[in-house]
Chains A and B, each alone.
Chain A
Amino acid sequence: MSRERSIRGKVALAGVGESAYYKRGGAPDAEFKLGLQAILAACDDAGIDPREIDGFASYSNDSNDPARFAAALGLPELRFANMVWGGGGGGGSGAIGNAAAAIAAGYADCVVVYRALAQGQNYRFGQGNFPSKVAGESAHWVPYGIMSPAQMFAMRTTRLMHEHGIDRSTLRAVSMASYHHAQNNPRAVMHGRPLDAASYDESRWIVEPFRLFDCCLENDGAAAVVLVPAERAHDLQQKPVYLLGTTQGSEYRAGAGVHNNPDYATSSFKTLAPRLYAMAGVQPSDVDVVQSYENFTGGVVMSLIEHGFCSYESANEALAFENLIAPDGGLPINTSGGNLAECYMHGLELIVEAVRQVRGSSPNPVTDAEVSLVSSGPMVSNATNLIVGAESTL
Chain B
Amino acid sequence: MSDSPSILPLGLPEPVPQPDGLDAPYWEGVRRHELLVQRCNACRGWQWGPEWICHHCLSFDIGWDSVVGEARIFSWERVWHPVHPGLSGAVPYTVLLVEFPESGGIRMVGNLVGDPEQDVPIGATVLPAFEDHDGAEPPFTLVQWKLA
**A142 interface contact, C-beta 8 A:** yes
- Kindly report which residue of chain B lies nearest to residue A256, judged by CB atoms: B49
- B50 surroundings in chain A (CB, below 8 A): 257
Q: Which of B1-28 contact A (CB under 8 A)?
A: 8, 12-19, 22-23
**A89 interface contact, C-beta 8 A:** no
Q: Does A146 lie within 8 Å of B95, measured CB to CB?
A: yes
Bound-state CA distance A150–B18 (Å) is 25
Rounded to whole Å, the gap between the CB of B6 and the closest CB of chain A is: 10
Bound-state CA distance A127–B80 (Å) is 13
Bound-state CA distance A262–B51 (Å) is 16
- A147 surroundings in chain B (CB, below 8 A): 13, 83-84
Bound-state CA distance A136–B74 (Å) is 23
Rounded to whole Å, the gap between the CB of B114 and the closest CB of chain A is: 15
Bound-state CA distance A137–B23 (Å) is 9
Rounded to whole Å, the gap between the CB of B30 and the closest CB of chain A is: 11
Of B78, B93, B97, B140, most buried by chain A (CB within 10 Å of CB) is B97
**B109 interface contact, C-beta 8 A:** yes
Bound-state CA distance A259–B142 (Å) is 17
- B83 surroundings in chain A (CB, below 8 A): 126-128, 147-148, 151
Q: Does A207 lie within 8 Å of B81, measured CB to CB?
A: yes
- B111 surroundings in chain A (CB, below 8 A): 144-145
Interface range, B side: 35 or more
**B146 interface contact, C-beta 8 A:** no
Also in contact, A143 and B13, with CB within 8 A (given A155-B76, A159-B75): yes
Rounded to whole Å, the gap between the CB of A330 and the closest CB of chain B is: 31
Q: Does A133 lie within 8 Å of B107, measured CB to CB?
A: no
- Kindly report which residue of chain A lies nearest to residue B87, judged by CB atoms: A145
Rounded to whole Å, the gap between the CB of A155 and the closest CB of chain B is: 4
Rounded to whole Å, the gap between the CB of A267 and the closest CB of chain B is: 15
Q: Does A139 lie within 8 Å of B16, measured CB to CB?
A: yes
**B48 interface contact, C-beta 8 A:** yes
Bound-state CA distance A205–B106 (Å) is 29
- B122 surroundings in chain A (CB, below 8 A): 158-159, 162
Q: Which of A332-347 contact B (CB under 8 A)?
A: none
**A134 interface contact, C-beta 8 A:** yes
Q: Does A260 lie within 8 Å of B13, measured CB to CB?
A: no
Q: Does A137 lie within 8 Å of B17, measured CB to CB?
A: no
Q: Does B108 lie within 8 Å of A258, measured CB to CB?
A: yes
Bound-state CA distance A19–B146 (Å) is 50
Bound-state CA distance A6–B9 (Å) is 54
Q: Does A205 lie within 8 Å of B81, measured CB to CB?
A: yes
Q: Does B84 lie within 8 Å of A128, measured CB to CB?
A: yes
Q: Which of B95-129 contact A (CB under 8 A)?
A: 95, 97, 105-111, 122
Q: Does A133 lie within 8 Å of B49, measured CB to CB?
A: no
- B109 surroundings in chain A (CB, below 8 A): 140-141, 144, 146, 258-259
Rounded to whole Å, the gap between the CB of A5 and the closest CB of chain B is: 29
Q: Which of A253-285 contact B (CB under 8 A)?
A: 253, 256-260, 262, 264
Show 21 A/B contacts (Cβ-Cβ < 8 Å), sorted by A. Answer: A127-B84, A128-B83, A128-B84, A130-B84, A131-B13, A135-B15, A143-B8, A143-B13, A143-B14, A145-B87, A147-B84, A155-B75, A155-B76, A156-B75, A158-B122, A204-B80, A205-B81, A207-B80, A208-B78, A257-B49, A264-B97
Give the A-binding residues of B (Cβ under 8 A): 8, 12-19, 22-23, 48-51, 55, 74-81, 83-84, 87, 92-93, 95, 97, 105-111, 122, 140, 142
